[in-house]
Structure 1
Amino acid sequence: PTRIGAEQELSIVGEDWEPAPFAMEILADIGDPKFTTEFARFNLEINLDPLLFTGDAFSKLERQLWRLLTKGENAARKYKAQLLLTGILPTLSHPHLSLDYMTPLKRYEFLIEALRKERGGNFEFRIEGVDQWISRMGHSFIESCNTSFQVHYQVAPQDFVDKYNWAQLIIAPLMAATCNSPLLMGKRLWRETRIALFEQSTDLRNPELAYREAEPRVTFGKDWVRYSAMDLFRNNAFHHRILLAPIDEENSLKTLEQGKIPKLRALTTHNGTIYRWNRPCYGITDGKPHLRIENRNMPAGPTVLDEIANAAFWLGMMHGMPDNYRRLYEKLDFKLARRNFFHAANDGLTTHFYWPGTPGKVPAQQLILEELLPIARQGLEIANIDRADIDRLLSVIEERVKSGQTGAQWMVDAFERLQKQGTKEEALTALTAAISKRQQVGEPVHTWQLPDIIEAGDWEKRFFTVEQFMKTNLYTATPDDPVELVVRMMYYNNIRHVPVEKRDGTLQGIISARTLVRFYNNFSEKERKKMAAKDIMETNLVTVTPQTKT
């Protein structure tokens, strides 16, 4: 019998709707092995029970997830925190990417150091959407911004090639329908920004390797699978260096000779450090080895119901794969499947896809509604999933696609609305509060109304930290700039303070309107013409961090 499974990643937020680093404390209070750590102290993971893919499997999955989330919520309240399901938390900011927020476990310290050594330099980030986000960091901790809802599907070895290639084909329209991560650091980027962020945060290739088109560790892949799952496992061994060694050693051949099933620790540990969006997995259940495909592209949220519907859509498509989609390597250039994937991540439901047997490109909504949803329904019927669950869950996908209101679209529309009512930081706070409120109600995202700024709570919630109302797009001067330039900068932009900083952004001092009054009173015109910002700036400054409480 086919088994399915799922893993829920989530964020922890405080009263101010900012990331709250209480993962270790919450885990200690819960005392449930189904809860485990993630990379950051403001994230958690829940491992749900494997289930037989039949009957009321989705209802069981939904009930267990709600029960465990409620358990986590109860533990989080002790720390004035709560749990949130969203692909990228809107209120995440640069201070949260400090290694001070990393979960204090040796394996994470070792992994981040191994990644840094392998990279041999800074990690470079550039993601462009409506806005542009460019950054450089000395480590890969920014990967912790991403949270997902990962779903597993067991596959018979003889079916692996066709099923895996089918998973590669359908992942693009699946992502178009499920995207929920359009914002990063207040920038409107891809509809599923997690894809670009994760790939760039673990790209260990130096310029030479990139030039040679070496495969990155986070990858969609470079070609169709043709022979077996070993194509992928061999590729892992041949193209990626070992970052982590298994805790216990095992002689797999000797284990086989003894008539036992090897755990293949070395293979599974190495495979766990290579992040294919469709990842092949080896495991043992009830003493029997199996292969499964782990879908890693679906984001956390917007609600439990949305996530279970997403899982049903993907699992139904996997189980209902029509025979005419076998041997895909003969029917579609892999580069087009790859193109579909990245365009869906960027554009969501407005994407047009290349599709086998179809001339030109097919609109995402047409492909999903007319072909993929019927395939998913047939697959769920073949698995004997309860009829009520099939109708309920697939109707969520159908209505979402018809309306065009994915989680990503709702967030973009909400953010634009909220920015008209307050500052960007207020908008991000209100957006996060609105997601939480609607998530607790549990209605699917296509039914959500747009929020108002008041949803962030009273002014204390909206202005809980300095970061929530400070401005970052500043007019600044360098130490060598003429004072006359500073004067004109203040006059034309109607401002009273100009920070003085080095070209690398290091703060050196500040010039205020009061500084200029003294400047004009104390120096002659001839003296003033020779003076630069460094000659009059105030340097005895009191500074605070963005996280300073108001």
Structure 2
Amino acid sequence: MGKQLDSHAFTREDRQRYREKVRRCLDVFALMLNDFTFDADKPLTGLEIEINLIDDTAAPAMRNAEVLARVDDPMMQPELGLFNIELNVPPRLIAGSGFEEYQRDIGARLDRAEAAAAGVGAHLCLVGTLPTLRQEQAGPEALSGDERYKQLNQQILTARGEDLIIDIRGMERLSMFTDSIVAEAANTSLQFHLQVSPDTFPNYWNAAQAIAGVQCALGANSPYLFGRELWAETRIALFEQATDTRPAELKAQGVRPRVWFGERWVTSIFDLFEENVRYFPPLLPVIDDEDPRQVLESGGVPRLAELRLHNGTVYRWNRPVYDIMNGRPHLRVENRVLPSGPTVADMVANAALFYGLVRAFSEQDRPIWTQMTFSAAEENFHTAARDGIESRLYWPGIGEVSVTDLVLKHLLPAAYDGLDRFGVDPGVRDRLLGIIEGRCITGLNGAQWQAETVTKLQDDRQLDRVPALHAMLQRYVEHMRAGSPVHTWPIG
């Protein structure tokens, strides 16, 4: 969620000074894009995995501080809710056996975290929306102790001026008011980072936007929220609504939401940062002491702290990132489309599909985004979130097609090509994309397995919805720990 914040009451003067400072940072960023050398010689990748904590009955375990104190891993930190933690996996190249290294590293860290959690009666669960979370557990008292979450909660509600409305219509309907953003903590995501140069950023970002619907459909793992069966990837709708700073009147005026797919293909990373500054008022106006222009003119690397913090409060599904590592600035595409889980193998396979497709599509002679409208890409995304692996999506040159046929016949070859361009070991490539192929052939992903298992438990054992969700999640965690990809799991 961003940098640490101290307890602070923001004033009108803070907001005015922050706005001015963000604009100065944007001007300096423009100068850097024209004249500065960004680190892109060997493009690193990165992963972030958000994780739920549950108890022995599969109910949420509000114990993230205790778990983190025991695991003592600097790559793990608290997330929004007391039942969430996050793992930031150290970045690496995916050439050769890079994906294998990811899988081993993630597995080892999660095993250590699970052992630590078990010591306080908790367990790790990799799932998109926590199906056993109850509405009464999603109030302000469930916020993590981190000051930045309290500030974010306060600022979103202050900007909105009224309670948040969650109204999701899917297989069933959920309609509720809430006085905090904690409902969003029901979501846990899987995020991919790809380091790129200023010149190649727009191609990679556009490619990521074009495939977002495909990613979402195949990786959907969030069918249940507060006891209701909603979308295959309910997490998308929940995130869009649980952090919405706009009351109904501003929505009617067309004011842009902070959780945003975007509205156009881009030609520069600057387009996205400039949109952030132009369209979105500050949420957390924390001002840094740095004079970015002075730092740049003296030959240093500006932190651009205000620009980066502001960017972190605009929740694009594919986000631009400016960062500094080892004294050198770099740019990244941060892909935020996917849910956590179901297994480490599934998540790494999802990574292989993403990196392979964006590499292949970003280097096409006639890029895919020149053949489809931006609105078509956005419609694909929301269709996929609603219908999951049963989605029918639009694709240039084909028209409307089932997502599984699209992937099997057209996109998997492109992903193979893209991974080859990264130098991924062929055996690793074949194993990971084979998981994607298996998902398409069986029609079984995390969301589908959850929904079919709950139906079977309700029908065969005559369970009501809530006990069926708990029984399903207990089976889910058993399969998750065993590690076989979700498309191989038995129903029930």
TM-score (norm 2): 0.89
User: Counterpart of 1:141?
Assistant: 182
Q: 1:173 aligned to 2:222? A: no
* 8 A contact 1:18–1:91 mirrored in 2: yes
User: Counterpart of 2:57?
Assistant: 16
Residue 353 of structure 1: which of 377, 381, 393 is its match? 393
- How far the C-alpha of 1:31 sits from its partner, in A, is 2.1
Residue 36 of structure 1: which of 50, 63, 77 is its match? 77
User: Counterpart of 2:380?
Assistant: 340
Measure, in 1, the Cα distance between the counterparts of 2:455 and 2:367: 45
Q: Which has the larger radius of gyration?
A: 1
* 8 A contact 2:287–2:306 mirrored in 1: no
* 8 A contact 1:162–1:328 mirrored in 2: no
Deviation digits for residues 102-159 of structure 1, max 9, x if unmatched? Answer: 1122211111000100011111111111111111112221111100111111122111
Deviates more, 1:323-332 or 1:236-245: 323-332
- How far the C-alpha of 1:288 sits from its partner, in A, is 2.1
- How far the C-alpha of 1:325 sits from its partner, in A, is 6.7
Q: How does 1:244-263 map to 2 (within 5 A)?
A: 244-246=284-286, 248-263=288-303
Measure, in 1, the Cα distance between the counterparts of 2:328 and 2:148: 29
Measure, in 2, the Cα distance between the counterparts of 1:369 and 1:285: 38
Measure, in 2, the Cα distance between the counterparts of 1:127 and 1:368: 28
- How far the C-alpha of 1:222 sits from its partner, in A, is 1.3
User: Counterpart of 2:445?
Assistant: 406
Q: How does 1:456-495 map to 2 (within 5 A)?
A: none
Residue 300 of structure 1: which of 340, 344, 348 is its match? 340
- How far the C-alpha of 1:248 sits from its partner, in A, is 3.5
Residue 441 of structure 1: which of 482, 486, 490 is its match? 482
Measure, in 1, the Cα distance between the counterparts of 2:100 and 2:367: 34
* 8 A contact 2:258–2:315 mirrored in 1: yes
User: Counterpart of 1:501?
Assistant: none
Question: Percent identity at matched positions?
Answer: 39
Q: How does 1:87-126 map to 2 (within 5 A)?
A: 87-126=128-167
- 3-state secondary structure, aligned to 1:191: coil
- How far the C-alpha of 1:98 sits from its partner, in A, is 1.9
- 3-state secondary structure, aligned to 1:205: coil
Residue 281 of structure 2: which of 206, 221, 241 is its match? 241
- How far the C-alpha of 1:208 sits from its partner, in A, is 2.5
* 8 A contact 2:203–2:362 mirrored in 1: no
Q: 1:206 aligned to 2:273? A: no
The aligned amino acid for 1:7 is: E
* 8 A contact 1:176–1:348 mirrored in 2: yes
Residue 192 of structure 2: which of 142, 148, 151 is its match? 151
Residue 330 of structure 2: which of 269, 285, 290 is its match? 290
Measure, in 2, the Cα distance between the counterparts of 1:210 and 1:266: 27
- How far the C-alpha of 1:257 sits from its partner, in A, is 1.1
Measure, in 2, the Cα distance between the counterparts of 1:175 and 1:276: 15
Query: Structure 1: which 5+ runs fail to align?
Result: 452-550
User: Counterpart of 2:413?
Assistant: 374
Q: 1:320 aligned to 2:396? A: no
- How far the C-alpha of 1:362 sits from its partner, in A, is 2.2
Q: 1:265 aligned to 2:305? A: yes
Deviates more, 1:205-214 or 1:373-382: 205-214
The aligned amino acid for 2:380 is: N
User: Counterpart of 2:3?
Assistant: none
- How far the C-alpha of 1:258 sits from its partner, in A, is 1.4
**C-alpha RMSD of the superposition:** 1.4
Measure, in 2, the Cα distance between the counterparts of 1:113 and 1:439: 36
Q: 1:232 aligned to 2:272? A: yes
Measure, in 2, the Cα distance between the counterparts of 1:207 and 1:47: 36
User: Counterpart of 2:39?
Assistant: none
The aligned amino acid for 1:135 is: M
The aligned amino acid for 2:429 is: I
- How far the C-alpha of 1:245 sits from its partner, in A, is 3.2
Measure, in 1, the Cα distance between the counterparts of 2:270 and 2:289: 21
TM-score (norm 1): 0.80
Note closer, same or farther for the CA distance 1:306–1:327 as it changes in structure 2 (3 Å cut): closer
Measure, in 2, the Cα distance between the counterparts of 1:305 and 1:53: 15
The aligned amino acid for 1:409 is: Q
- How far the C-alpha of 1:328 sits from its partner, in A, is 5.3
Q: 1:278 aligned to 2:303? A: no
Deviation digits for residues 480-511 of structure 1, max 9, x if unmatched? Answer: xxxxxxxxxxxxxxxxxxxxxxxxxxxxxxxx
- How far the C-alpha of 1:306 sits from its partner, in A, is 0.3
- How far the C-alpha of 1:374 sits from its partner, in A, is 0.9
User: Counterpart of 2:14?
Assistant: none
The aligned amino acid for 1:175 is: C
Query: Structure 2: which 5+ runs fail to align?
Result: 1-41
User: Counterpart of 1:160?
Assistant: 201
Residue 331 of structure 1: which of 367, 371, 376 is its match? 371
Measure, in 2, the Cα distance between the counterparts of 1:329 and 1:212: 28
User: Counterpart of 1:526?
Assistant: none
* 8 A contact 1:306–1:445 mirrored in 2: yes
Deviation digits for residues 249-295 of structure 1, max 9, x if unmatched? Answer: 32111111111111211111111111100111111223221111111
- How far the C-alpha of 1:330 sits from its partner, in A, is 4.1
Measure, in 1, the Cα distance between the counterparts of 2:368 and 2:416: 22
Note closer, same or farther for the CA distance 1:341–1:366 as it changes in structure 2 (3 Å cut): same
The aligned amino acid for 1:412 is: A
Measure, in 2, the Cα distance between the counterparts of 1:448 and 1:347: 20
Measure, in 2, the Cα distance between the counterparts of 1:165 and 1:328: 9
